[in-house]
Structure 1
Amino acid sequence: MHRTELADFLRRCRARLGPTEVGLTPGPRRRTPGLRREEVAQLAGMSPDYYTRLEQARGPRPSRQMLTALARALRLTDDERDYLFHLVGEEPPRNRGTSGHVRPGLLRVLDRLYDTPAQVITDWGEVLAQNAMAAALVGDITARPPGDRNIIRSFFTRRDDTPGIFPSEEIEEHARLHVATLRAVLAARPDDPGPASLVAELLAGSEEFAAMWADHEVAIRHSTVKRFTHPVVGTMELDCEVLLSSEHAQRLIVHTARPGSESAERLELLRVVGLQNLAPRDEESPAG
């Protein structure tokens, strides 16, 4: 592990980013350019002390999970992410299918959508990034352990233990869309271990999934209208726009309300309320 080079690289990447570029408020006047260390730590989901030690070339060797979080927090390009992995002595991710690395440009779009729920997911349901509004609407999925961030898995394995975010009469429709989408993805990339292992897991662990899988329905997620129920602001009817990134099989999903509607008023209330009134809300299936 090249600790000195890693520390210098992290400092330079932090210095080139401003708070508004990552969705943070500027706050008081800053004596030096770039993000503060605690801001990078917040974005990466690690303790400020841990990140500080990395920049001081005295930290422990970061895990692959931590390196991925740092690459996302610092808005690294694919080449910069690979360089970060090499500095630590790790082989960069070489996924045969989808990549967990969100392109900086896509993250910048996400950062600027401060008043509407938006998130980046893979085409087989892995949540890669969320803004604060998405976390307020469906729960902070990125705060979960890495193996527990798939919305399709959650829908079929945790639904009985969590509050619903969709009206009960629409649950089957969402379930069938999840199954049909996963079948289309698996057919397109049969050698991708991610969706293949998820299908095998759900076939073995969910009778509901197995029954719907046997129907052999195929569909791809498209823009639509969805209704969400929220414990604080109530039911909202939101337009769901799905923007595709074919290079990494990722999707930016944005939810908006029609101007002047009751749903628009409730969405604005959700923005004001934010996360402060949000109970643990592990979604059945967030906006996917």
Structure 2
Amino acid sequence: MSRDTVTTAKRPQAIVAPFNTGKVDVTEIFGAFAELDALSEELVQSELGAWLGPVPNLDAMDNRERRAQGLPLRPLRLTAVSVATDADVLDLGPIAEEQLRLAGKSWDGQDLAPEDRLDGELEGSFAGTLERRVLADADAKRNTPLFDVLLFADDAGIVFEAGTTRQVALIAYRKVEMKDGRTRRAIEDAIGVPAVPSSVAPPAAASAPSMPALVVGEKSAEKNALRKAPAVKKVSAKKSALKKAPAVKKAAAPKAPKVKAASKKAPSAATKAKGSAEKASPKAPKSKAAGAKPKKKATSRAG
């Protein structure tokens, strides 16, 4: 049965039926595509959905899958994750300083030190025009830096691979000179957007998630310090109390025997007093014996 005799509802299946045999040439394939394009999209999807499978979501495809399918890569979108200007670039470390030195050398051929490139009194100075942007993929889950861009002299610049001194492009009149058109367009779009330096943006820094984390860390450090301080004082107080307690006991120990000895001596003195009183009491009978003189009178009377 030819494709011309089938109903419109079954026409999509009749068009692709020869593909199952594997004996079709390029002309027949393109002819089948032209016939399918002439039909409604809903009809083709309903009749060939099970045969073709689900329609791929091109927006959800990453570049690796796009390459495997022979599809063009998705447009690259870059965003600035860090911006520094003029002398602040010197605080970014030796890599940034070397990038500045190479940028100046590419500009006028003079191999000047990074500090000299920012000296406004020297010829070829970038003072007041230097800007360093770190660009990352805006669609990636992580802001992994891809390029370090140094802009200077109003409309010139140089592009390095992020974190290195490997030059990947030059910039003249705000136009990027490189072979990769996809990356070139992305860098031009990124540097065309005004960027606020990271070091001089207090409102943005205050609203950024990193600043509250630092404040919380400082508060927790203060709380930990306050918690630890009394503990140290208590331990020292206990140690000092333990050191002082024996001294008090030693001082009181020798005094106690003296008091007890004194109390013991006091009874001995009283005992001596009582003994003397007792010794004195036996003398009373002697006085009575001496008073028994009437007996002598009796003898005298007898005589």
TM beyond 0.5:
no
Structure with the bigger percentage of helix: 2
Q: Could you say which TM-score interval applies, normalised by the shorter chain? A: under 0.3
Greater relative contact order (Cα < 8 A, sep 6+) = 1
Structure with greater Cα Rg = 2
- Normalized against structure 2, the TM-score is what? 0.20
- Normalized against structure 1, the TM-score is what? 0.21
